[in-house]
Amino acid sequence: MAKLQILDVNGKKSKEITSNLFDSEIRADLVQKVAETEKEKQPYAPFLWAGMETSASGNVKHNRHVWKSDRGKGLSRYPKKRMSDKGERFVWVAAVIPGVRKGRRAHPPKILRADLKINKKEKILALLSCLAMTSSKEEIIKKYSSLANKELKLSLPIIFDSKVINAKTKDLFTSLKTTLGEDLWNIAIQEKEIRAGKGKKRNRRYKSNAGMLLVIGNKEERKITGIDVVKANELKVLDIFSNGARLTAFTEEAVKDLENKINGTGKKVEKKEEVNSKKSKEIKK
């Protein structure tokens, strides 16, 4: 159980709490695995019935000596659609198959599954690894190239008293600036700028940095321009991990809610294991 400092509005130490929330082993492989499942990807595939919505099937008969049939007339056996009924053999055009005009694609990409699934225990371990990353100076320096060859004097993780949430935005920013220092303050606030090049014409005129993440309690409410705010029960691996550990701050209430969230899921897992062990013992008897 590590001792964690709680900072007040002025960025000074007000008290200490004990928690093992940030003491887990950093598992980069698990974090990467869970992050892939949380990404929202646009499904890439054509329309399922593209090139198939035509009257080619059933319109032309394929039996010999039958009216409206294409057999015995020197015609290919492609599926056909009727364009006109004038004349003896009508006017038929090949359709549906990939080798003809306006036919379907031969081997298009298919959406086999929409969401990737992952075990609950792996999700918990990945989230704990991400929380451990936020308390590691080495991981944060790896993430931000502007911090290379610099020493962070700040003690991590950054945990504020819950009273900070009710403070004015101006007071909150001044406390953050004094707490983080000049180097981290330049990273913490989101900065928006006009993109260079042709991207301005392609619906992506502006670009901005991610900025700092502030995790608040489940019952707390706050919106801050320039900083992403997430509730403890809505916190995901992808919120913290993106090519490294994101600069993250917590409120005291958020730490308690995260402990309840992780311990609660852990208890459920233990109960399931107990049930399975009981069943196995009964089977052996």
| Domain stops at, among 110, 135, 166 | 110
What pLDDT, on the 0 to 100 scale, is given for residue 215? 92
CB 230 within 8 A of CB 213: yes
Q: For residues 189 and 262, state if they share a domain.
A: yes
| Domain stops at, among 59, 87, 110 | 110
- The answer to the question of residue 125 being in a domain is yes
Beta-bridge partner residues of 91: 84
Beta strands 248-251 and 158-160, pairing class: parallel
Q: For residues 36 and 52, state if they share a domain.
A: no
- The model's pLDDT over 164-205, given as tens digits with 9 standing for 90+, comes to 888 888 888 888 888 888 888 888 888 889 999 999 999 999
Confidence of residue 126 (pLDDT cuts 50, 70, 90): very high
The whole-chain average pLDDT of the chain stands at 82
User: Does the global pTM surpass 0.75?
Assistant: no
What pLDDT, on the 0 to 100 scale, is given for residue 171? 83
- The model's pLDDT over 106-121, given as tens digits with 9 standing for 90+, comes to 999 887 766 678 888 9
Q: For residues 203 and 92, state if they share a domain.
A: no
Confidence of residue 67 (pLDDT cuts 50, 70, 90): confident
CA dist 257 and 239 (Å) reads 17
Specify the higher pLDDT residue, 28 or 279. Answer: 28
Average pLDDT over residues 67-72: 78
The dihedral region occupied by 152, where left means phi > 0, alpha psi between -120 and 50, and beta the remainder, is: beta
120-134 helix and 252-284 helix, angle to the nearest 10 degrees: 150
Number of domains the chain is built from: 2
Specify the higher pLDDT residue, 166 or 283. Answer: 166
What pLDDT, on the 0 to 100 scale, is given for residue 216? 92
What pLDDT, on the 0 to 100 scale, is given for residue 277? 62
Closest CA to 249 of 139, 161, 160: 160
- The model's pLDDT over 212-250, given as tens digits with 9 standing for 90+, comes to 899 999 988 888 888 889 999 999 999 998 778 888 999
Tokens of 240: 């913290």
Q: For residues 49 and 158, state if they share a domain.
A: no
CA dist 41 and 199 (Å) reads 21
What pLDDT, on the 0 to 100 scale, is given for residue 280? 62
What pLDDT, on the 0 to 100 scale, is given for residue 273? 52
Average pLDDT over residues 77-89: 75
Q: For residues 90 and 138, state if they share a domain.
A: no
What pLDDT, on the 0 to 100 scale, is given for residue 226? 85
Report the run of H or E that residue 141 belongs to, with start and end. helix 137-143
- The model's pLDDT over 11-63, given as tens digits with 9 standing for 90+, comes to 788 888 888 888 888 998 999 999 888 887 777 888 888 988 877 755 677 78
CA dist 272 and 68 (Å) reads 66
* Residue 161 CA: distances (Å) to CA of 11, 51, 172, 181, 243: 10, 62, 12, 19, 29
Q: For residues 57 and 138, state if they share a domain.
A: no
Residue 235: CB atoms within 10 A of its CB come to 22
Collapsing DSSP to helix, strand or coil, 246 comes out as coil
The residue assigned the tokens 């944060």 is 140
CB 144 within 8 A of CB 183: no
Beta strands 213-216 and 228-231, pairing class: parallel
Specify the higher pLDDT residue, 86 or 184. Answer: 184
What pLDDT, on the 0 to 100 scale, is given for residue 87? 63
Collapsing DSSP to helix, strand or coil, 180 comes out as helix
Report the CATH number that the domain containing residue 37 is assigned in CATH: 3.40.1370.10
Query: Is the pLDDT score of 163 beyond 60?
Result: yes
CA dihedral of residues 175, 133, 120, 272 (deg, nearest 10): -90
Q: For residues 12 and 68, state if they share a domain.
A: no
| Domain stops at, among 110, 133, 159 | 110
The boundaries of the domain holding residue 55 are 45-110
